[in-house]
Amino acid sequence: MFEQLRGDKDFDSTGFIFFLHKWRKPLFFLSVLALILSVVFSSSWFITPKYKSVVIMYPTSTSSISKALLTETAGEKQDILEFGEDEQAEQMLQILNSNRIRDRVIDKYDLMDHYGISPDEKFRFTKLYQEYENNISFKRTEFMAVRITVMDRDPEMAADMANDIADLLDSTKNAIQKERAIRALKIVEAEYIQLRDEIQAMEDSLTRLRELGVHDYESQAEMINQQLAIELARGNQGAVKALELKLETLAKYGGPYVSIRDALEYEKKQFSQLKAKYEEAKVDAEEVLPQKFVVSYAYPAEKKAYPIRWIIVLVTLTSTVILTLLILALYESISGLEPDKKKSPDGGGVLPRGTPGDGSGRG
């Protein structure tokens, strides 16, 4: 019997049309009700409209000013006019998601009050950070740029926040790099000053040796020996004695002179290289360059981006119609399974009239 009833209730296209016609009134009523409720509850009375502002930018290919401008061997990747690639874009996204930028944006725009979060709430910061992440997002575009998207109920504030976040990228990244650059500058500067002082001490020693008569050990020794031979040949004892005194001076101070002179020449070469590194480190520690190429700045939106009312209305209306149809179909299926004849107590079949228990027996 169950199979027969189920087979009778299977819907073909004609049966479905009759089914819709039969339940047209509740379907129409519920659809109109869903339409009205979705329009009302998606209005600004219940859902705060939000406006969207977007900044699109590319990272730079290099962050070192000295390598880009002062180094002669700088390659294409160190060109300050070159756009960055995947690695630089990933670094930019990581910095944009850092708490350094998040906390500065929260403080500047007083987002805790703007989002209606009480300072006395137990989990106020968790709620605040969640609202921040819901309204502010950073993603890569299909063209390897980085998009900053800000949603807010105030279009002016949304645009200002998006542009400020782009500006904060420069200051934040420069601050991170300067911490390292300043430390590197101190190291190079200490070595630079130490080597400069050593060179100055060597030059002072050479100056003292020159005052003692040692100007150029090799040439002086050669000339004095030549002149000594001439004077000895002449028998000029006074000149010979004077030349011998000069030779004694060269013998006494010539060795230190040669040693200091050669060391000074080597140290000056090292000092030249160290000075170049010092100048580069000084530029990196004191100067800044923009860390991005902004393709599109944010501007106040004229139309709200959220909520999209027609989607809400369409989804609500469609869901209501489908759910109503399922409930009505289920109702008809259950109603069709109810027996129209009385069954025996043990479910074995229909009791004939006049048998005991059917209520029609004779008294």
Residue type, 171: S
Handedness of CA 193, 194, 200, 204 (dihedral sign): positive
Quick: pLDDT tens for 46-58. 667 889 999 999 9
Q: Compute the average pLDDT of residues 199-220.
A: 83
Give the domain ranges of the chain. Answer: 51-183+288-296, 205-286
User: What is the rounded average pLDDT for all residues in the chain?
Assistant: 80
pTM: 0.64
Is the bond leading into 307 cis (omega within 30 degrees of zero)? yes
Pick the residue with more confidence: 232 or 136?
A: 136
**Percent of the chain at pLDDT exceeding 70:** 80
- Is the pLDDT at 148 greater than 80, yes or no? yes
In SS3 terms, the chain reads as: CHHHHHHHHCCCHHHHHHHHHHCHHHHHHHHHHHHHHHHHHCCCCCCCCEEEEEEEEEEECCCCHHHHHCCCCCCHHHCCCCECCHHHHHHHHHHHCCHHHHHHHHHHHCHHHHCCCCCCCCCHHHHHHHHHHHHEEEEECCCCCEEEEEEECCHHHHHHHHHHHHHHHHHHHHHHHHHHHHHHHHHHHHHHHHHHHHHHHHHHHHHHHHHCCCCCHHHHHHHHHHHHHHHHHHCCHHHHHHHHHHHHHHHHHHHHHHHHHHHHHHHHHHHHHHHHHHHHHHHHHHCCCCCEEEEECCCCCCCCCECCHHHHHHHHHHHHHHHHHHHHHHHHHHHHCCCCCCECCCCCCECCCCCCCCCCCCC
Q: What is the pLDDT of residue 27?
A: 82
Q: What is the pLDDT of residue 134?
A: 93
Q: What is the pLDDT of residue 350?
A: 46
Quick: pLDDT tens for 182-195. 998 999 999 999 99
pLDDT band at 325 (very low <50, low <70, confident <90, very high): confident
**To 5 degrees, how large is the angle CA 57–CA 63–CA 68?**
115
pLDDT band at 44 (very low <50, low <70, confident <90, very high): low
- Is the pLDDT at 197 greater than 90, yes or no? yes
Helix axes 237-286, 155-211, angle to 10 degrees: 170
Quick: pLDDT tens for 230-273. 777 777 777 778 777 877 777 787 888 888 888 988 998 999 88
In the CATH scheme, what is the code of domain 51-183+288-296? Answer: 3.30.1890
- Is the pLDDT at 92 greater than 70, yes or no? yes
Q: What is the pLDDT of residue 348?
A: 47
Pick the residue with more confidence: 337 or 322?
A: 322
Q: Which residues pair with 197 in a beta bridge?
A: none
